Structure formats: structure tokens, C-alpha cells
Amino acid sequence: MVDLANYDPDHVGNPNNNIFGLPTNEEDARLIIVPVPWEVTVSYLAGTARAPEAICKASLQVDLFDPDVPEGWKQGYFMRSVDRKVLMKSDYLRKEAELYIDYISRGEDVSANQFMSKTLKEVNAGGEYLNTWVYEQTKALLDKGKLVAILGGDHSTPLGYMKAIAQTHPEFGILQIDAHCDLREAYEGFNYSHASIMLNALNEIPQITKLVQVGIRDYSNGEFDYIRESRDRVVTYFDKNIKNRQYEGDSWKQIAEEIVSKLPQKVYISFDIDGLDRKLCPHTGTPVPGGFETEEVYYIFRKVMESGRQIVGFDLVEVGISDSDWNANVGARVLFKLCNLLVASNS
């Protein structure tokens, strides 16, 4: 058994250790991070499938002292190794999807092309495979009493985990930090597109009683109509409206507390890094002007904790990679904050 009580958090991060330089193993860790190296349906910038490894490397530079949860790390965090089979399948299907997206972008008829029809079928089968894989991985960990986090990959990756959460918590809500609604139906023909994650979750998981979206600033007319017709199951705080309220005198405290008041007792956090200002995540898959500072989002999370609500799980997705380590550095720090909040909420 690993004894973190005697571990020196001020020591330089050891690259031979696990996430955040901690000398933990899966058996003893309270929280298990499952990396999901998948980005098959991304429609703009690629690279997020390799973010988990980059984040793990950058995490060695994260100080373990968090004033919100000073000793959360002592409960043990462990990140599993990236599954190479999943990564290779993502790489293969990504190339297929790129050809397909290029084809339909020119207005071509998919049904008239046997190869493209086969490609679409393969990509959709890949999405089903991934959902099952993530469900099985996370359900087994939850059954062992572990806390679980998903580290993507694109935003399609956590659906299987949400289904596993629903087997443990018969009613919960999602707090989504994002630039996009992700409520598109089979975007580009892909049933499990990164742009369809929240619609798929709402359609396939009745245990989700509420979806509260924060920071949305890029969405379609269809998504806007869906929100209006959701009978308050979906509550969206658009970035423009948040800023207009602040310009006219509302404090972030007022807005954050209102956001939290819309959530049920149990909360799952889905954090797409593009919910932040792009200067913090320049190589995310689908960047959009606007967005939050990290502390603004952390403030919402603190209000969730102060309200007495329980955080039951989270995912962090769409972190990009580049020649520098800036994206991974910010991703590692957001990941550490989320890990601390999850263990604190379940102590």
C-alpha cells in the first residue's frame, strides 16, 4: 500500500511516478482518471486524442497545494495508461472521417457513393464501440467504490461514463462548461459526434434531470429551438447574456449562485476546455472568441460545493496539443482542481 501521509508535496515531480508526480497505484487511489484517446468526429483542429499523455507530463509542474482543498491529493489520484488499441482505432477512423467530411462539404450525395456510405457506417460503429468501452471501464471502477474521471479526447468520449453514473445515481444533473451547446442531432451524419454529446446524453439517459450549460457562444438555430422546447430540462447561460448582465451591474456572485440554483442535488461536471478564453487553450478543437478565466469557472464550482450539492463525477475534454506545453499546462491545472473538488465532495 502506498502511504501518501509521508510524501513530500514540495519535492520536485518524479517522472517515474503517476499523475501530478504522485507515487500512487490504482488499487490504493481514491480517484481513477481514465484517459480516452479519441477524436474521430472532430470537425476542425485535431490533436486532442493525444492530450492525456501531454497533460500527464505537464502535471509534474502542478503544485499540490490547493487552498480550496489543501490535502485532497492525499486520498490518491491515479491515471491509467492510454489504451493503444483505442488510440489506433481513433487514428484510423479519423482519417476515414476526414475523407467523408471533405466529401459532404462539397454537397455530394453520400447514398450515391458506396465507399462513403461504408465509411459512415464504420465511423458510427466506432462510436458505439467507444461508448461500450468507456461504460465497461468506468462501471467496473464505480462498482469497486472508486471515484472516476474521464480525460479526453474530444467531447464525445464521456457518454459511456454518464451511463455508468446513471447506474449508481438514479437522478443527477450535468453542469456543462462549453463554448458549444453540443445538442446537434447526428452532426455530419455521425451518431456519436462530439457536437451531439449532450443531445445523446439527454435522449439515452433518463436519469439526467437537468442540463445547465454555461458560457455557450456558438450554436445553431436548431439547438436554440431545442433549448426553448426542452421544458426547462436544459437551461443555457449564453456567454453574451452573462457579459451583458455584468455590464449592467450584476455581479459574478449573483450569476454564479443563480446558475447553481438550477442544478439538482447531484451534479456531474462536463468541462470542455473551449469554455475558457482561447488564450488559455489556443489549440482546442473548435475555438471560439470569448469565454472564461479559470477562476471564474472555479468560482461556480466553489458555489456548487458551498450549496451542499454533491459532485458525482467529471470529464475534461478537448484539450489541444502543440509544440509548446501551454495547452497541456492549463489542462493539467484544471484537471487537478476538478480532482480535488470531486474527492472533497465525496469525503
- 105-119: pLDDT as tens digits: 888 788 888 888 999
**Domain tally, the chain:** 1
Q: What is the pLDDT of residue 320?
A: 93
Which residues does residue 310 pair with via DSSP β-bridges, in sequence order? 266
Query: Would you state the cell numbers that stand for residue 163, as one nine-digit string?
Result: 451511463
Q: What is the pLDDT of residue 45?
A: 72
Global model pTM greater than 0.85:
yes
Q: What is the pLDDT of residue 190?
A: 87
Distance CA 270, CA 182 (A): 11
Q: What is the CATH number of the domain that holds 213?
A: 3.40.800.10
Q: Is residue 253 part of a domain?
A: yes
Q: Is residue 345 part of a domain?
A: no
Q: What is the pLDDT of residue 55?
A: 97
Q: Is residue 222 part of a domain?
A: yes
Query: Would you state the cell numbers that stand for residue 122, as one nine-digit string?
Result: 464504420
Q: Is residue 329 part of a domain?
A: yes
Distance CA 277, CA 264 (A): 27
Q: Is residue 344 part of a domain?
A: no
Query: Do the beta carbons of residue 260 and residue 307 sit within 8 Å?
Result: yes
Least Cα distance to 34 among 233, 316, 278, 252 occurs for 316
Q: Is residue 80 part of a domain?
A: yes
Q: Is residue 231 part of a domain?
A: yes
Q: What is the pLDDT of residue 10?
A: 83
Query: Do the beta carbons of residue 193 and residue 187 sit within 8 Å?
Result: yes
What pairing do the DSSP bridges indicate for beta strands 266-272 and 172-177? parallel
Q: What is the pLDDT of residue 1?
A: 60
Q: DSSP letter at 14? A: P
Q: Is residue 274 part of a domain?
A: yes
The position carrying cell 482505432 is: 89
Q: Name the CA dihedral angle for 135, 322, 174, 228, rounded to a multiple of 10 degrees.
A: -120
What is the tens place of the pLDDT at every residue in 86-139? 999 999 999 998 888 888 888 878 888 888 899 999 999 999 999 999 999 999
Low-confidence ranges of the chain (pLDDT < 50): none
CA angle 291, 224, 222 (to 5 degrees): 120
Phi-psi region of 209 (alpha: psi -120 to 50; beta: other; left: phi over 0): alpha
E strands, the chain, are 31-36, 77-79, 147-152, 172-177, 208-216, 234-238, 266-272, 310-317
Distance CA 94, CA 40 (A): 4
Q: Which domain holds residue 27?
A: 4-339
